[in-house]
Amino acid sequence: MAFNIYLCGVGGQGIGVLAAALAQAASRAGLEVIACDTHGLAQRGGVVSSHIRIGADALTPLVPEGGADLVIALERLEALRGAAQYLKKGGKVLYYNTAYQPVGVRRGEGAYPSEEEVRLAVQGFGGEALNVNYPDMADPRMQNSALLGLVASLGAVPGLRAEIIEEVLKEIVPPAVLDENLRIFRAAV
Amino acid sequence: MRSLAEMMTEKEGFSELVMGNHALARAMAEAGTAVVTSYPGSPTPEIAEALLAPAEKDRPCHFEFAVNEKVALEFAAGASLNGHPSAVFFKSVGLNVAADSMVQLALMELLGGMVVILGDDPGANSSQNEQDNRWFARMAYLPVFEPASPAEVYVMYRAAAALALERRAPVILRLTTHVCHARETVKFGDLPARHDWTPRFDVKNGPYVPITTSVFPLKKKALEKLASWAEAGEKSPLNAVYKASAPGRRRLGAISAGLPALCLLETLRNSGAPVDLLKLGLTYPLPEKLVTDFLSSHDEVYIFEELDRVMETEIKALAYDKGLACRLHARRGNAALMGEMTPERARAALADVWPEPFPAPERRVFEAPAPRLPQMCPGCGHRSAFHAIKKALPPGAITVGDIGCHSLGFLPPYNMGEVLFSMGHSVSTASGLALNNGLRKVVAFVGDSTFFHAGLPGLANAAWRDSDVTLVLLDNGTTAMTGHQPRPGNGEIGERLNLADILTSLGVKFLRECDAYDQAKLAAHLKEAMDHKGLAVVIARHPCMLKFMRERRRANPGLKPQHVAVDQAKCARHYTCAADFACPSFIRHADGSVTVNPELCIGDGSCIQTCPAAAIGREK
Ligand SMILES: Cc1ncc(C[n+]2csc(CCOP(=O)(O)OP(=O)(O)O)c2C)c(N)n1
């Protein structure tokens, strides 16, 4: 069976870079990878997602609903949404613990979930949720590196070692901000 | 890992994990495609990203954006008439704009060959409909290649371009959203020698003027060429049978193409079901002999496709003509004609006729949390404009939207732009709404890229008949929605082609301009414009702040914007900032207070003027 990773976040958070780094690392580790980003209108502050499927029996790029072994989210509400729709029983949710309120919540039309609510909900889906947060981060786009660090430290993707992820990070991140990204990546490892 | 520029210029072959769109750009380079044009639209813009990645002198193909899809297609066709292999790409609905010239292509001897690349969007991920462009191919007598994955995009483009050159003909390469954006490892080949730019246009290869007596000989030739494409399809390795691992009692089969064929194959392999698959790559004209043989050697065949019943109609007609006994199945009901196919939808479709091998998986449905609709970015000039305009409009006013980031104005809390057809429609639709309408003001919106794309004819018409419409031109200096491609007039905003000059020369008599952040001025302009009898145009201008901030951050990686802050002592909890102006940077807390999210605020300050209690200011 393929190992399925569903990545999600809010348009503008740079999920494409996170997904590209992880897919590239898996490929370099000798795993068979098929992946896909979803683009479109959602890039403007809506829900964005990327899909990575590892293993020879994955012929199509989208992770099936309820079929993700791993959900990686760049934001708390999206962690909950991604898990509700995609998490497989026994799967893991790794998310960056930051909150971007959707307009409905700001208009007083809905509630935004707390960390505890996300933890319990994911438990209800038969999975486990873990998060990271670095309050002193220089640029929110480095949240990607924090999540990659968490993936690496947990060995969350079978067959993918931390060193390979770090190697890819070094190639993808622009030189000017590489040191800071590596510091954040290694903090979790 | 190769950069895009390296991918496009590396002389020798290599393997790389790439997106379908990037694989396509490399295929263009390897095929010796000399000229490529486009108008931006999802799911295709990353093709341009790759073509433009090397420095101009190192680019293997000449690439440029055109002002719209029709212009792009004509430009590529012109290059091919001169013997230069060419290609054009655009999104699904782009073909509606390009159609007037596209339907003529098959009549012509295109010396260099030409590939028309269509980015169809089943699921309407980023389009205003999910039209099925396979119909257009039939109308225009054009053959169609339909790849299912990035590796197939590469292989099929190379095959299509080679055949197009050999036959001096146009062909369609039809992609769909998740073929464009899928990533897999593709094995690439070498780059050819540089292109010879000798212009070889010669009327002797024609005729090229389809008027009076030449129409029928040209149509005859187009039909003959189409028949010869059918022969190519019979022999093509792109059309292949995937045998089931074990035979069943009844001989079952399925016919499919593109990504839906892979959805089917994944399902068949997972279930171990005894169903053979005929997967078509060169899908039109239908390879009749191949299909007839497949139908004759099976008792039942499922025709599985995405969107409209195109293959189904043709295969059923073929089976009828040949008097075949094979029982044909296809998708049932209107819901099956909507949205993208997935392995699960393939399973459910097959289970509908063959329940046994395809049991339903366990379904778990959990309640969805608070929705998150797309919204304009922090600092977007469109938000500032809509906030001001909404307050200035009289009751009963009708607002007509157009396509671009500002389309999002139709969502709450702005509800600006209540009707939308297509790019550039707004001023014309508004003109119709304004006819003999003394009661309700009509206000239309249009973006600056759309203004040039398809807005100009409507504007000329509205100015000429002096429609009683107020048009707000939301000028952010770029084609923002599709990823910041340039539009005529760039360089700097308003350079070379000046919007105000164009409007004046078209005969627009009432014209005002202001910065979209200056809400008081914009509201005053709008009121004056609505009082003006006849066409009035207000340009609300502010650069796209997403683009602006990206460029600033690139130049200065440590950039710290000076955020705004809410003075808690002054805040009277009107929530104008968070709920009405609705910049995503504001956080409304459970205790009723409002603060600013420093991760989102770019320090533009366009919100400061909106607070009735004057509680928003610059962070100290
Ligand atoms: C016929 C057609 N071509 C292309 C597109 C894709 N498209 C969607 S929005 C857009 C850009 C609009 O740019 P502009 O009018 O400047 O508005 P902005 O997004 O910058 O606010 C394009 C090209 C489309 N929807 N229809």
Looking at the predicted structure, is the pLDDT value of residue B362 above 90?
no
Residue B1 with chain A: CB contacts under 8 Å: 24, 168, 171-172
Looking at the predicted structure, is the pLDDT value of residue B162 above 90?
yes
Ligand 1 centre distance from Cα of residue A106 (Å): 28
pLDDT digits (tens, 9 = 90+) for A1-11: 899 999 999 99
Q: How confident is the model at residue A137 (pLDDT cuts 50, 70, 90)?
A: confident
Mean pLDDT of A59-88: 97
Most A CBs within 10 A among B181, B372, B481, hence the mutation to make, goes to B372
Q: Tell me, using a 6 A CB cutoff, whether residue B406 lines ligand 1.
A: yes
Alpha helices for B470-579 (secondary structure H): 499-506, 519-531, 545-555
| Chains A, B: CB pairs < 8 Å | 179
Which of B362-366, B570-574, B592-596 bottoms out in mean pLDDT, i.e. has the lowest? B362-366
Mean pLDDT of A101-124: 95
Looking at the predicted structure, is the pLDDT value of residue B248 above 80?
no
Ligand 1 centre distance from Cα of residue B403 (Å): 5
pLDDT digits (tens, 9 = 90+) for B319-360: 999 999 999 999 999 999 999 999 999 999 999 999 999 999
Q: Which residue of B has its CA nearest to A83?
A: B366
H/E segment holding residue B396 = none
Q: What is the pLDDT of residue B554?
A: 87
**Interchain pair B364, A125: CB under 8 A:** yes
**Interchain pair B269, A39: CB under 8 A:** no
Q: What is the pLDDT of residue B489?
A: 65
Tell me how far apart the alpha carbons of residues B54 and B56 are, in angstroms, rounded to a whole number: 6
Q: Which of A37, A44, A78 sits opposite B405 (nearest CB)?
A: A44
pTM: 0.97
Q: How confident is the model at residue B138 (pLDDT cuts 50, 70, 90)?
A: very high
Structural domains of chain B sorted by starting position, each given as residue range(s) with its CATH number in brackets: 4-235 (3.40.50.970), 240-353 (3.40.50.920), 381-549 (3.40.50.970), 560-618 (3.30.70.20)
Q: Tell me, using a 6 A CB cutoff, whether residue B45 lines ligand 1.
A: no
A113 CB within 8 Å of a chain B CB: yes
Which of A84-98, B229-243, B359-373, B378-392 bottoms out in mean pLDDT, i.e. has the lowest? B359-373
**Interchain pair B183, A23: CB under 8 A:** yes
Burial of B334 per CB tally in 10 Å (0-12, 13-18, 19+):
exposed
Q: What is the pLDDT of residue B497?
A: 73
CA–CA min distance B437, chain A (Å):
34
Tell me how far apart the alpha carbons of residues B66 and B47 are, in angstroms, rounded to a whole number: 15
Q: Which of A34, A39, A112 sits opposite B184 (nearest CB)?
A: A34
Mean pLDDT of B425-451: 97
Q: Which position has the higher pLDDT, B132 or A189? A: B132
Q: What is the pLDDT of residue A110?
A: 87
Tell me how far apart the alpha carbons of residues A110 and A63 are, in angstroms, rounded to a whole number: 28
Looking at the predicted structure, is the pLDDT value of residue A43 above 90?
no
Residue B42 with chain A: CB contacts under 8 Å: 39-40
Ligand 1 centre distance from Cα of residue B64 (Å): 17
Mean pLDDT of B464-482: 96
Q: What is the pLDDT of residue B493?
A: 44
Mean of the per-residue pLDDT values for chain B?
96
Q: Tell me, using a 6 A CB cutoff, whether residue B91 lines ligand 1.
A: yes
**Interchain pair A77, B125: CB under 8 A:** no
ipTM, 2 decimals?
0.96
Q: How confident is the model at residue B1 (pLDDT cuts 50, 70, 90)?
A: confident
Q: Residue ranges per domain, chain A?
A: 3-188
Residue A140 with chain B: CB contacts under 8 Å: 599
**Interchain pair A84, B366: CB under 8 A:** yes
Q: Going by C-beta distance under 8 Å and a sequence separation of 6 or more, which residues neighbour residue B27?
A: B153, B154, B157, B158, B161
Q: Tell me, using a 6 A CB cutoff, whether residue B448 lines ligand 1.
A: yes
- Cβ B474 vs Cβ B446: under 8 Å: yes
Looking at the predicted structure, is the pLDDT value of residue B217 above 50?
yes
**Interchain pair A85, B366: CB under 8 A:** yes
Percentage with pLDDT > 90 across chain B: 92
Looking at the predicted structure, is the pLDDT value of residue B456 above 60?
yes
Q: What is the pLDDT of residue B496?
A: 60
C-alpha closest to that of B451 among B431, B467, B428, B433: B428
**Interchain pair A39, B373: CB under 8 A:** no
Q: Going by C-beta distance under 8 Å and a sequence separation of 6 or more, which residues neighbour residue B345?
A: B263
Mean pLDDT of A97-115: 94
Ligand 1 centre distance from Cα of residue B422 (Å): 9
Q: Going by C-beta distance under 8 Å and a sequence separation of 6 or more, which residues neighbour residue B51?
A: B8, B25, B28, B36, B59, B61, B63
User: Could you tell me which CATH number the domain at A3-188 has?
Assistant: 3.40.920.10
**Interchain pair A41, B481: CB under 8 A:** yes
Please report, for residues B136, B172, B179, the alpha-carbon distance to residue B118 in angstroms, rounded to integers and kept in the order given.
Answer: 11, 7, 12
Q: In what order do the strands lie in the sheet with B252-257?
A: B240-242, B275-280, B252-257, B300-303, B327-330
Place of tokens 């220089």: A138
Looking at the predicted structure, is the pLDDT value of residue B490 above 80?
no
Residue B177 with chain A: CB contacts under 8 Å: 39-40
Ligand 1 centre distance from Cα of residue B578 (Å): 28
Q: What is the pLDDT of residue B495?
A: 57
Q: What is the pLDDT of residue B491?
A: 58
Which of B71-85, B106-120, B234-248, B288-302 bottoms out in mean pLDDT, i.e. has the lowest? B234-248
Looking at the predicted structure, is the pLDDT value of residue B139 above 50?
yes
